[in-house]
Amino acid sequence: MQENSIDGILVQRFYGQFEDESFLQLLQQIRTAAENYGRAFAVEYDIGGVSSADFSDVVPNLLDDYANHIAPLMNSPAYLHHEGRPVLEIWGLGINQDQLSAADCATIFHALRSANPNPYVVLGVQWDWAFYRTDQRIDYFNVFTQADVIQPWAVGAYDDIPSYEQKYRDNFVPDKALADQLGLKYAPSILAGSSSRNRDKGTTFGDRYNGTFYEAQLKHQLDMKPFFVFGSMFDEFPESTQVIATLTNSEVPRQDPGFFGIDDGMDHNYYLQLAGRYAVQYHQLF
């Protein structure tokens, strides 16, 4: 990250895996590395798997983990703060509406928002979050508007340049204007590509279009000037969204189930380098 001008990382902390000691060790390693290399980090609670059918212990478990494992990390000079408050993302509110009710989403949000230390809250939501205000999902939308930052999730919303350009024009630009109107910071997510091959043994490998797909999204961030840009993801190989150095397709095993690499003929580090070049340009806007 330092070599490629990447500012830092949001670390996914999955609900249901709080007792995993190896992950607690990883958090400490991330803290040490961020401090040593001048990068920023913050924690992202992923509650995508939380259900209203089994909700009684959810908030106590979250608050216990926050107080005992996350809050101590916030003392690090590398932990990301804004306006004097430590940044915390809550990802997954309203994404599985059949699973987690709006009332329970609100309970999670308010419990963490009022925790000590009081966090600056980023909400990771579905890409079409703005439509929630006009239909039966209005109660979810009312939770979204209480956040500090709204971060629409891009994976699955588009998969090539034409579909991205349409979403950018018809959704993301007006959504940014809506966020501004509501007093919300807007922080879009972008992706280099994706594939079901690694995780689900899918039959399609996907296409990164030799970096042009990722670059089209990066260019538009310079036009939009959002609060920050979330690159999804740094190292998520199961969904093949990673930008970390990866072998090319011709260099990885292709037998069943095979593996999805990056475009042939490209530098293994190309996507990190590309993101870093645009990160430098992005900073020059402010």
**pTM of the complete model:** 0.94
CB-side neighbour CA atoms (13 Å) of 141: 16
pLDDT of amino acid 257: 59
pLDDT of amino acid 97: 83
pLDDT of amino acid 206: 72
Condensed to tens digits (0 to 9), the pLDDT of residues 111-168 reads 999 999 999 999 999 999 999 998 789 999 999 999 999 999 998 899 999 999 999 9
Count of other CB atoms within 10 angstroms of residue 212: 11
The answer, yes or no, to whether residue 198 has pLDDT greater than 70, is no
d(CA 4, CA 276): 5
Task: List the alpha helices (DSSP H) in 73-172.
Answer: 102-113, 138-144, 161-167
d(CA 91, CA 93): 6
Task: Note whether 17 and 23 are within 8 A (CB).
Answer: yes
Across the chain, mean pLDDT equals 93
The answer, yes or no, to whether residue 249 has pLDDT greater than 90, is no
> Exposed e or buried b for every residue in 13-36, given b needs 16+ CB within 10 A?
bbbeeeeeeebeeebeebbeebee
d(CA 116, CA 114): 7
Residue 43: band (very low, low, confident or very high) from pLDDT cuts 50, 70, 90: very high
The answer, yes or no, to whether residue 240 has pLDDT greater than 90, is no
